Amino acid sequence: MEIIMSILAGTLFGTGIYNLLQKQLLRIIIGTVLISNGAHLFILTMGELKRGQPPILREGVTDYVDPLPQALILTSIVISFGVTSLLLVLAYRASKENQTDNMDKMRGNEYE
């Protein structure tokens, strides 16, 4: 199970980085979403996947899922959600002001 999840996370990273290297702003943003989701899956996998066990340690419970990765993911998801929404608004405004969504044309070489 861990192996499959790791490969999935790796695929998400790969496609994310491919999109990150594109010129269109929206594709770049989709790329960032993909890699952050890859990272979240990766954190979950790192805490060992056990199906059907609660993340609670009580008396009598011997088998439990590590709760820490779940707490970390929750934090990380909230942060990436916030940043993505900010990035979308920013990209919208930037493409309006600069009248292009092509990163090649937004290079800014007026000082060169």
Work out which of 24, 39, 49, 55 binds another protein, going by CB under 8 A. Answer: 39
Work out which of 57, 68, 70, 102 binds another protein, going by CB under 8 A. Answer: 68
3 binds another protein (CB under 8 A): no
- Nearest-5° angle of CA 54, CA 71, CA 43? 95
- Nearest approach in angstroms of CB 29 to another protein is 9
State the Cα–Cα distance between residues 73 and 41, nearest whole angstrom: 8
- Nearest approach in angstroms of CB 104 to another protein is 12
